[in-house]
Chains A and B, each alone.
Chain A
Amino acid sequence: GAVVSQHPSWVICKSGTSVKIECRSLDFQATTMFWYRQFPKQSLMLMATSNEGSKATYEQGVEKDKFLINHASLTLSTLTVTSAHPEDSSFYICSARRQGMELEAFFGQGTRLTVV
């Protein structure tokens, strides 16, 4: 149990276009989801915390208008990178916390975004 799935696993898009990444908790309800970004040879950097039914909380320095997060249900959160540029190319990872079980967080397999 406790599987978190991201889609797509990888995506290539043209500069200026928008890309949507989905994060689903397959077998549990996730009240809180987290979005991370990871550049090559670096650690994971938290971008935002997403709570079901409310606005996401963004970390300092993360543009909320550029990285749109929606958490419309207890099993789905989406991250949309708007007007993507080559510097947005990165590995995006989501994490979900199971409702009532805050001790553990489960991670998706990640989405590699390449903007050309």
Chain B
Amino acid sequence: DAKTTQPTSMDCAEGRAANLPCNHSTISGNEYVYWYRQIHSQGPQYIIHGLKNNETNEMASLIITEDRKSSTLILPHATLRDTAVYYCIVRVVSAGNKLTFGGGTRVLVKP
């Protein structure tokens, strides 16, 4: 699976949009971009995934550049409960293919 690069940490203000970048310059054509987050002492929580097109769900939006070498996860209105480590992962979708976690971005939402 392609490697991803994320900032180590970032702060954002409660109520504002949080934009989390991820670089995956070696991504292959059949690799999806996934985002998970992990709140302290809990298991990871799925947020969103995409292949080429931008995606939106009730939690977030995923913007993937046209060349697919980077993406941005957008939390539209950050709340204190969004404080977590956010992981950007790229992987080929197959039954046995594993999710490999990098360092992630530690996001702190401040009042």
Name A residues whose Cβ lies closer than 8 Å to a Cβ of B: 4, 6, 31-32, 34, 36, 43-46, 49, 51, 91, 93, 95, 97, 102-110, 112
Q: Is B94 an interface residue (CB 8 A)?
A: yes
Q: A107, B44: Cβ atoms under 8 Å? A: yes
Which chain B residues lie closer than 8 Å to A32 at the CB level? 95-96
Complex CA gap A111/B8 in Å reads 25
Complex CA gap A93/B100 in Å reads 13
Q: Is B7 an interface residue (CB 8 A)?
A: no
| With A102-B95, A104-B46, A106-B46 already in contact, 5 other A-B pairs whose C-beta atoms are closer than 8 Å | A43-B101, A44-B101, A45-B101, A46-B101, A51-B96
Q: B43, A107: Cβ atoms under 8 Å? A: yes
Complex CA gap A43/B44 in Å reads 11
Q: B104, A103: Cβ atoms under 8 Å? A: no
Which chain A residues lie closer than 8 Å to B96 at the CB level? 32, 49, 51
> Per-residue 0/1 for B89-111: is the Cβ within 8 Å of any A Cβ (1 yes, 0 no)?
00001111111111110000000
Q: What DSSP secondary structure best describes chain B's contact surface?
A: loop
Q: A103, B49: Cβ atoms under 8 Å? A: yes
B60 CB to nearest A CB, Å: 15
Total residues of chain B contacting the partner, CB 8 A: 23
Q: A109, B93: Cβ atoms under 8 Å? A: no
A-B pairs with lowest CB-CB distance, top 6? A107-B43, A44-B101, A43-B101, A107-B44, A110-B43, A109-B43
> Per-residue 0/1 for B61-93: is the Cβ within 8 Å of any A Cβ (1 yes, 0 no)?
000000000000000000000000001000001
Contact of A93 with B95 at beta-carbon distance under 8 Å, contacts A43-B101, A43-B104 already known: no
Q: B46, A93: Cβ atoms under 8 Å? A: no
Task: Specify the chain B residue showing the minimal Cβ separation from A105.
Answer: B99
Q: B43, A103: Cβ atoms under 8 Å? A: no
Interface members, chain B 1-56 (any A CB < 8 Å): 32, 36, 38, 41-46, 49
